[in-house]
Structure 1
Amino acid sequence: MNLLIVDDDSLVSASLKTILEADTTIRVIGVADNGAQAIDLYHNLHPDILLIDIRMEGMTGIDVAKVLLSEDKAAKILFLTTFSDDEYIVEALRIGAKGYILKQNFESIVPAIKAVFSGQRVFGDAVINKIPSLMKQNDQPNFSQFDLSKREIAIICHVAEGESNREIAQALFLSEGTVRNYMSIILEKLNLRDRTQLAIFYYKQNTF
């Protein structure tokens, strides 16, 4: 897979390139150190994945992602940053980034890139753990555009709070088997893979 790295620290970019190309399935075809250059290289090189930092002088990584995703919603953009600020996580989720992982979790970078390349969304544990508290700061999501029953929406809300099937069953006076059946139906309706994606789906429906 072909990768474009964007980071305003040249040492970080060089280190990432070395680490990533140690995996024979990854080829770094370009490196940019600012947002404008990132957009130009993306248009010229057509990488499979854009690996980009959040905070940069001038255009931020979020700004770059907004431009590219407005042109192609399927663009595979993975944020790699030292910052887990709530506002960045909110924006990354809202604009449709394929992932958000922290630089300090360097061992997860290559697996995350491969997951994004295969069509998955990847959000590190530090990000996933923030989702329930971030959701409580915002209004109830609007599910009107989806074919979901009130019971299904209730289950989604409980999943987003991090509850297990047993806890959901107790809260809604259902059997665990019934909750599992509902979960399968919900995931199929929304074309999602697992509970983590379902929690992210819930979060993205919030209005900020």
Structure 2
Amino acid sequence: MTIRLLVVDDDPLVRAGLALMLGGADGIEIVGEAADGSEVAALVADVHPDVVLMDIRMPGVDGLTATERLRSRPGAPDVIVLTTFHADEQVVRALRAGAAGFVLKDTPPADIVTAVRRVVAGEPVLSPAVTRQLMSRVADSAPGDRTDRARARLGQLGVREREVAVGVGRGQSNAGIAAALYMSVPTVKTHVSRILARLGFNNRVQIALLVHDAGLLDRDTDVG
């Protein structure tokens, strides 16, 4: 399978470098380039990429806005955010909107290729454990009722689903969650799939962010 990749960055040299490095990787085809987030929707409709590599900071329509618009549409491609900062509030907002993860602009090309392939395979680019570290370093300017909203959303889940969600939020693997909750790994996978479907999420990172927002990670909190 050839992975179709769209590169979005306002710097033509960065775009050219990424296209040269990633386009030469086995099984990856650069199907388009964009210099601004305003161009993304039309290009996606035209070239049908599997993954969009999205710069977070652009002078016109930024990568955050473009990601939010794109991920709100059915059948949208996966998005990996490009950033120069480890702890960036815009990155967290992009993850909330459904970006599969982020990579730093100085990440070695081979690692970016690995990230693209992981996304297409349905594997997390950014582990919930890393997400938790990121959240702890980024000031959250959201309204104070975010905790209540997050807990209300988690209330849509069954008891075991909520327990699995908290395990995801703690950065545990499926095997780790299975051992902690005395479940089989296939059962955990089923619960994760149901959580994603019930909450309208795209990936485990969004589950981790919701559990973080609900305040369930820093203390032993009843999730039943």
The answer to whether the 8 Å contact 2:100/2:205 transfers is no
1:145 counterpart residue number? 156
2:58 counterpart residue number? 56
1:79 counterpart residue number? 81
Indicate the percent of aligned positions where both proteins have the same amino acid.
31
CA distance in 2, matches of 1:51, 1:14: 13
- Using the TM superposition, give the Cα deviation of residue 101 of structure 1 relative to its aligned residue in structure 2, in angstroms: 1.6
1:203 counterpart residue number? 209
Number of aligned residues: 193
Match status 1:115 vs 2:118: yes
The answer to whether the 8 Å contact 2:132/2:169 transfers is no
- Using the TM superposition, give the Cα deviation of residue 154 of structure 1 relative to its aligned residue in structure 2, in angstroms: 5.6
User: Per-residue displacement from partner, 1:147-205 (whole Å, max 9, x unpaired)?
Assistant: 224xx7467546634589xxx9xxxxxxx95545387644431229xxxx756513235
- Kindly provide the amino acid, as one letter, of the partner of residue 87 in structure 1: E
1:27 counterpart residue number? 29
Secondary structure at the counterpart of residue 16 of structure 1: helix
Distance 1:100 1:199, change over 3 A: closer
- Using the TM superposition, give the Cα deviation of residue 60 of structure 1 relative to its aligned residue in structure 2, in angstroms: 0.7
CA distance in 2, matches of 1:43, 1:163: 36
CA distance in 1, matches of 2:69, 2:179: 45
Distance 1:9 1:132, change over 3 A: closer
Q: Normalising by the residue count of structure 1, what TM-score does the alignment of the two structures yield?
A: 0.74
Secondary structure at the counterpart of residue 52 of structure 1: strand
The answer to whether the 8 Å contact 1:132/1:160 transfers is no
The answer to whether the 8 Å contact 2:80/2:99 transfers is yes
CA distance in 2, matches of 1:127, 1:178: 20
Distance 1:154 1:148, change over 3 A: closer
Task: Trace 1:102-181 onto structure 2 (pairs within 5 A).
Answer: 102-106=104-108, 107-123=110-126, 127-128=130-131, 130-131=133-134, 133=136, 139=147, 141-142=150-151, 143-149=154-160, 153=162, 157=166, 160-161=169-170, 179-181=181-183
Secondary structure at the counterpart of residue 42 of structure 2: helix
Distance 1:114 1:190, change over 3 A: same
- Kindly provide the amino acid, as one letter, of the partner of residue 59 in structure 1: V
2:217 counterpart residue number? none
Distance 1:39 1:178, change over 3 A: closer
Q: Normalising by the residue count of structure 2, what TM-score does the alignment of the two structures yield?
A: 0.69
CA distance in 2, matches of 1:39, 1:177: 43
Structure 2 residue runs without a partner (length 5+): 141-145, 195-202, 215-224
The answer to whether the 8 Å contact 1:98/1:120 transfers is no
The answer to whether the 8 Å contact 2:70/2:76 transfers is no
Distance 1:160 1:126, change over 3 A: closer
- Using the TM superposition, give the Cα deviation of residue 26 of structure 1 relative to its aligned residue in structure 2, in angstroms: 0.7
CA distance in 1, matches of 2:164, 2:99: 25
Q: Over alpha carbons, which structure has the higher Rg?
A: 1
